[in-house]
Amino acid sequence: MVILVLSVAMATSCKSRSNAASAPVEPRVFTNAELGLTFTPPEGLRDLTAALKEAEAGRPQDGRAHFTELLHMASGPDDTAPDWLQLGIETFPRGRDLDKSDDMTASFITNNAFAGGATVERKVVKFADRDFAMTHLEKKENSLTKHGIVFTTVHKEKFVTFFFAGNVREKVDQIAQSMSTVKFAP
């Protein structure tokens, strides 16, 4: 899914490049009232959410549940650049498999379904007094290795998934530290 998101983001970011190039990059807090969620993205990334949603709206619907994009940001359109980074927040309904596993096991399954790639590390981490399933993944693309970190928790009967990706693991690790800004209203 990260690679799919990468492809859509690249296409939409090229379309909006002229607008994005002149727009200042401002630190801001992302808020989702329905989830009671706030998150402060790292500086230096451009918000591509509207362009991505526009591209997704043109796709035919198949009647199945899909991840819902809440936020998508990237450093630029060239996903082969050494300093390229992206992040996003998505949700997916939890109810369809409630009887099959506990929230944490289901969150790890969601991470793998969301991102794909080879799992390098899996563990439970805590942010905002909540347990998150954390999965670090790698995916080879020609001579390039994409690195991704996916965090998922269950909140209000939804999987809430944060993803961070890029071409240099240390830089991905660095932007993933923004998870410390996650807050959920009681």
**To the nearest 10°, the Cα dihedral for 166, 120, 105, 2?**
30
Structural domain includes residue 107: yes
How does pLDDT run across 38-80, given as a tens digit for each residue?
A: 999 999 999 999 887 777 766 666 656 678 899 999 999 899 9
Report the side by side order of strands in the sheet with 144-155: 46-47, 68-74, 85-93, 158-166, 144-155, 130-141, 118-127
- Pick the more confident residue, 15 or 67: 67
Q: What is the CATH number of the domain that holds 124?
A: 3.40.1000.10
How does pLDDT run across 150-185, given as a tens digit for each residue?
A: 999 999 989 999 999 999 999 999 999 999 999 999
pTM flag (> 0.85): no
Residue 175 structural domain: 2-16+29-57+65-184
